Amino acid sequence: MSEENENIGFELTDELLEQVRQLVEEQNDKELQKFLEEFHYADIAEILDDLNLEEAIYVIKLLDSETTADILMELDEDNREKVLRNLSAKEIAEEVEELDTDDAADIIAELPEERRHEVISNIIDEEHKAIIKELLLYDEDTAGGLMAKELVKVYETWTVAGCMRRIRGQAKDVTRVHSIYVVDKNERLIGRLSLKDLITAKSEQKIAEISNSNVDSVNVHDEAEDVVRIMQKYDLEAIPVVDDDQVLLGRITIDDIVDVMKEEAEKDYQLAAGITGDVEADDTIWRLTKARLPWLLIGMFGGIGAASIINGFSGAFQKFPILLIFIPLIQATAGNVGVQSSAIVVQGLANDTIDGKIFSRLFKEFILALVNGLAISIIVLGISHFIFHTSYFESLTICVALVTVIIMAAIIGTFIPIFLDKRGVDAAVATGPFITTSNDVFGIFIYFLIAKMILGF
């Protein structure tokens, strides 16, 4: 990192935190303001996330609302909630006035129902207020919930010169222009052009002549995850949002998509590890317990199920006690294979690369499981024979069971996510503890069943 770009090389050190704490404690407002001025709002948010609540609120109240509005957006959700609880409705309204409409609506949506109205009624700018009210009507998981109303719009009948004049006014409110959207007299989206097209065109040309009528858009009710997929697939940096009559309502920009992508990826990763509810390492014990205990309980009931199965086959472990020591091996292998298969399918479903090809997927997993199963069986055969001195039939039992359990685990791991997806359930829940537990129980059952068939107890 070069010296000139100190922001980009930002690192939150203990010394830095201590310095801020000191200044807050001394109530040295002037120095504190001067000190924080140097930092990007995202860095200040990182600092505030590590201060205690009183200190954070002190800083928020000290800085001007233009900066603090951006800081608020970057804070951890939990910390933001706490800070907002300590600000008056009027103070929140001031922050909200500084934000783009989509961020403003997101902040207000996080407030408890009764505070929302209070904050909204404190917003002075009537247009901003009306827009926020409109945006709050959309579900947060739809295009409407992601869009901002700030955009640059021109009418097809304008000339390039007239357009340049008019958009100078509009563009001031829009942080990043991306595309200029062309509408007809009924406000219906009919094309787009870039600022580049505009400045490289002749000033007397009509907008209709230089605009591109091939404009992608999403419907305001489309699901957020579809919008993410579309923007990613077509490498779009902004996409206009229209209603059912093709009337231009707003636009979604790539920075919001990046945030959604990150959240989705973290949620899926946690689900695969048996954690629900998008928690973070520094959440409260209570929140973390709510996120984790249910999945442990699933595993526990699976363990109890397995105990019942083993108990049911108690005849076996009187005659062939050596079989019991391989239970962990069977269980671990079943669990691992199941998670592998389901993870691949969950990812394929998310990327839309497995549609309707269930049988070919199952067949492929079958072959793959057979190959892996045989490889593992051969090694286990040697080890069980030479180290644990299993008899011929005992070894056979273990190996046949391993191959069967691997194949079955692969098929369960493949089938369950596809089944859930068909039913409209998020397939991502069907990996991690869920698959591991089902495979543990099935695996042990199959193990004893095969033992019974081969050894006949």
Taking the C-alpha atoms of residue 38 and residue 36, their distance in angstroms, rounded to an integer, is 5
Position among 48, 71, 123, 275 found at the interface with a copy of itself (CB under 8 A):
275
Give the 3-state secondary structure of residue 174. Answer: coil
CB 44 within 8 Å of CB 13? no
For residues 150 to 179, the per-residue mask of contacts with a copy of itself, x marking binding by CB under 8 A and - elsewhere, is --------------x--xx--xx-x-xx--
Q: Which of 331, 395, 397, 438 binds a copy of itself (CB under 8 A)?
A: 331
225-to-142, 256, 317, 348, 366 alpha-carbon distances in Å: 8, 12, 52, 15, 31
CB 341 within 8 A of CB 365: yes
- The residue among 157 and 308 lying less far from a copy of itself, judged by its C-beta, is 308
Nearest residue (CB) to a copy of itself, 133 versus 364: 364
Per-residue interface string for the shown chain with a copy of itself, residues 397-436, x marking contact by CB under 8 A:
---------x------------------------xxx--x
Number of residues lying near a copy of itself (CB under 8 A): 126
Q: Which of 226, 256, 225, 251 is nearest to 239 (CA)?
A: 251
Q: Nearest distance from residue 406's CB to a copy of itself, in Å?
A: 8
Tell me how crowded residue 233 is: count the other CB atoms within 10 A of its CB. 10
* Distance of closest approach, residue 251 Cβ to a copy of itself, in angstroms: 14
Query: Using CB under 8 A, which residues numbered 339 to 398 contact a copy of itself?
Result: 339-340, 342-345, 347-348, 353-356, 361, 364, 367-368, 371-372, 375-376, 379-380, 383, 387-388
Q: In the complex, what is the shortest distance from the CB of residue 47 to a copy of itself, in angstroms, rounded to a whole number?
A: 13
Pick the closest to residue 430 from 312, 318, 302, 268 (CA basis): 268
Q: Which of 30, 126, 186, 321 binds a copy of itself (CB under 8 A)?
A: 321
If binding is defined by CB under 8 A, does position 75 make contact with a copy of itself? no
> Measured between alpha carbons, how far is residue 320 from residues 331, 395, 429, 449 in Å?
18, 12, 38, 14
Q: In this structure, how many other beta carbons lie within 10 angstroms of the beta carbon of residue 239?
A: 26
Binding to a copy of itself (CB under 8 A) within 218-247 occurs at 218-219, 222, 230, 232-235, 237, 242, 244, 246
Binding track, positions 177-206, relative to a copy of itself; x by CB under 8 A: x----------------xxx-xxx------
Q: CA-to-CA distance for 60 and 337, rounded, in angstroms? A: 51
Residue 90 or residue 319: which is nearer to a copy of itself going by CB?
A: 319
Closest CB to a copy of itself among 133 and 229? 229
Q: Tell which one of 335, 397, 416, 430 touches a copy of itself (CB under 8 A).
A: 335
Instruction: Select 89 or 190, whichever has its Cβ closest to a copy of itself.
Output: 190
Q: Based on CB atoms, which residue is closest to a copy of itself, 123 or 250?
A: 250
Binding status of residue 8 toward a copy of itself by CB under 8 A: yes
Cα separation of 106 and 215, whole Å?
27
Contact status: 261 vs a copy of itself (CB under 8 A): yes
CB of 58 to a copy of itself, least distance (A): 23
Q: How far is the CB of 399 from a copy of itself (least distance, A)?
A: 12
Segment contacting a copy of itself (CB under 8 A): 55-63, 80-88, 123-131, 275-283? 275-283
Q: Pick out residues in 33-52 that bind a copy of itself (CB under 8 A).
A: 40, 42
Q: List, in sequence order, the alpha helices (H) in 321-391.
A: 327-350, 358-386
Rg (alpha carbons) of the chain, rounded to whole number: 30
**Least spacing, CB of residue 305 vs a copy of itself, in Å:** 8
Paired with 238 in beta bridges are: 253
Listed ranges 1-9, 117-125, 204-212, 448-456: which one lies at the site for a copy of itself (CB under 8 A): 1-9
Dihedral over alpha carbons 39, 42, 46, 49 (to 10 degrees): 120
Q: What does the DSSP 8-state code read for residue 352?
A: T
How many helices (H) and strands (E) would you count in the chain?
Answer: 22, 6
Quick one: which of 53, 124, 161, 300 contacts a copy of itself (CB under 8 A)?
300
Beta bridge partners of 183: 155, 189
Q: Does 325 bind a copy of itself (CB under 8 A)?
A: yes
At 249, the amino acid letter reads: L
Nearest in space to 25 (alpha carbons), one of 58, 50, 48: 58
- Reference 74, options 54, 49, 55, 97; nearest CA is 49
Rounded CA separation 238/399 (Å):
56
The minimum distance between CB 117 and a copy of itself, in angstroms, equals: 30
Q: Which helix (H) or strand (E) holds 116?
A: helix 113-121
Of residues 32 and 242, the one with the C-beta less far from a copy of itself: 242
Closest separation between CB of residue 24 and a copy of itself, Å? 21
Q: How many CB atoms lie within 10 A of CB 379?
A: 11
